[in-house]
Amino acid sequence: MTANFSLQHLVREPKIKTEKSPVLIMLHGYGSNEEDLFSFASELPDELLIISAKAPYPMQPYGNAWYTIHWDTHNGKFSDNEQAIESRNLIKDFISEVKQHYPVDPDNLTLLGFSQGTILSYAVALSYPEIVKNVVALSGYINQDILKEDFENNDFTKLSFYCSHGSQDQVIPLAWARKSKPFLDALNIENKYSEFPVGHGVAPQNLLEIIQWLKEKI
């Protein structure tokens, strides 16, 4: 990690080295950090150069966020969409830096997000599909308010999504996640959607499905 990057991050070198490795960037959830998703990096395909990024907004007493979530007695819970758009653009810049500074294949980049990291992964890939090939979207949903204007006119022909959600999720409603498949289908984007009988987390069977999907896509 150097000061040349927009986001602090951890790196796992590929176990199978090639001249230009496929790269996977992990985006953690609200209140977590770059160590979280990195814990299962060793189980992902050996060809991948894996980077786990740290969200820019520190929380108290610990953890980080991609944007603030407000709790309001009148409006309930709502997201700071302006901050989310700033983070969307920050991740876009970070992807450019990764492609410049690491020996990776610029046309073979995967985003893997969890929860808030998934919401940002959707936003980056749908707004800038030319910089992302695959998205693994875990326990999140599509927030249309943080997508780039006129995003529906983008070329999505090279983009693929793997989306999954826990059927017992108490944090992000299952109904929100279920909207992702019809939304992506309407844009003619290749996608797979799965549900698992867990809460706000990743089931072992879910991880096995992710690994298999990545092997086919990278």
Q: How far apart are CA 9 and CA 22, in angstroms?
A: 17
pTM to 2 decimal places: 0.95
- Closest among 100, 96, 103 to 128, alpha carbons compared: 96
Domain for residue 165, yes or no?
Answer: yes
Residue 69 pLDDT: 84
Q: Poorest-confidence range of 2-11, 30-39, 92-101, 140-149?
A: 2-11
Domain of 115: which CATH number?
A: 3.40.50.1820
Residue 70 pLDDT: 73
Between residues 104 and 79, the one the model is more confident about: 104
User: Where are the extended beta strands (E) located within the chain?
Assistant: 9-12, 21-27, 49-53, 57-58, 64-65, 69-72, 76-79, 104-114, 134-138, 160-166, 190-196
Structure tokens belonging to residue 134: 């695959």
Give the model confidence (pLDDT) of 120-177 as tens digits: 999 999 999 999 999 999 999 999 999 999 999 999 999 999 999 999 999 999 999 9
Region label for 174, one of left (φ > 0), alpha (ψ between -120 and 50) or beta (otherwise): alpha
Domain for residue 136, yes or no?
Answer: yes
Domain for residue 3, yes or no?
Answer: no
Domain for residue 192, yes or no?
Answer: yes
The total number of structural domains that make up the chain: 1
Residue 4 pLDDT: 81
Q: Which residues pair with 89 in a beta bridge?
A: none
Residue 1 pLDDT: 46
Residue 71 pLDDT: 66
Over residues 63-83, the mean pLDDT reads 80
- Closest among 159, 134, 143, 128 to 210, alpha carbons compared: 134
Q: How far apart are CA 122 and CA 167, in angstroms?
A: 20
Domain for residue 2, yes or no?
Answer: no
Over residues 59-68, the mean pLDDT reads 93
Domain for residue 1, yes or no?
Answer: no
Domain for residue 36, yes or no?
Answer: yes
Three-state SS annotation for 118-172: HHHHHHHHHHCHHHCCEEEEECCCCCHHHCCCCHHHCCCCCCEEEEEEECCCCCC
Q: Which domain holds residue 187?
A: 9-217
Domain for residue 38, yes or no?
Answer: yes
Q: How confident is the model at residue 76 (pLDDT cuts 50, 70, 90)?
A: low
| pLDDT at residue 110 is higher than 70 | yes
